[in-house]
Structures are given as structure tokens and as C-alpha cells.
Amino acid sequence: MQYERRWLSVIAVGLSIFLSALDATIVALALPSMAHHFQLSDSLASAVTLSYAVPLTVLILPSGDLVSRFRTLPTSQCWDLVWGVSPVAWRRISRCSYWVV
């Protein structure tokens, strides 16, 4: 059968859309108290929301296309490595004296 796994794909896409919406809702609910704590203006708080939502929305389809071009496990391991190393690299970069934060 040509389309034997189509429902698995539909479930995966639906779950990813649901989790993306849930994630955006959590950020939207937490943002007012965070903005008050850090004394952010309303325009800066809306910029945080946009900077969080726009890349997520833009990268969903290309990342699915990228994963479908390559084998799934090595691609997943590569992304795990990137997401695991980036906080450590950022912490080391931010400790440099020439870096202005």
C-alpha cells in the first residue's frame, strides 16, 4: 500500500502544531509577569513575542523538508548536538571581557 503510514504523518503534524501553539500560549501567559519583573516596556514585550513566534513559524516546513531528505537518526543527533552545545558556547562567549552585553 502506498499510503500505509499517512495517518502517522497526520498525527505527527497535528501534534507538532498543538505543541507549538501550547508553547506560544505559555510564553504569552508568562510574558506580562516577566515584563513587570524586568521592567520592560510594552513594545519590547511584544518584540519578544514576535521574535519567538516568527522563526518558529518560518522554520517548521523547511525543517520537515530537511529531515525528509536525510536519514532521520543522524539528523536528529546532529540537532541534539547543536542544541546541547549552543548554551555552553554562549556562556563561554558571554564571559569574554570584550563582549558587550
Could you list the residue range(s) of the whole structural domain that residue 37 is in?
Answer: 1-69
Whole-prediction pTM? 0.50
33 and 77 assigned to the same domain = no
Residues 52, 24: contact at Cβ < 8 Å?
yes
- pLDDT at residue 98, rounded to an integer: 57
Contact by Cβ (8 Å): 12, 41:
no
| Share above pLDDT 90 across residues of the chain, in percent, rounded to a whole number | 1
Residues 62, 90, single domain; the answer is no
Which residues 6+ apart lie within 8 Å of 23 measured at CB? 56
Indicate if 77 and 47 belong to the same structural domain: no
Same domain, yes or no, for 64 and 75?
no
pLDDT mean across residues, the chain:
76
Are 57 and 82 in a shared domain? no
Q: Is the pLDDT of residue 45 over 60?
A: yes
- How confident is the model over 8-31, as pLDDT tens digits? 778 877 887 888 788 888 888 888
Q: How many domains does the chain have?
A: 2
Q: Are residues 16 and 54 in the same domain?
A: yes
Task: Report CA-CA distances (Å) from 42 to 31, 32, 35, 51.
Answer: 10, 9, 8, 14
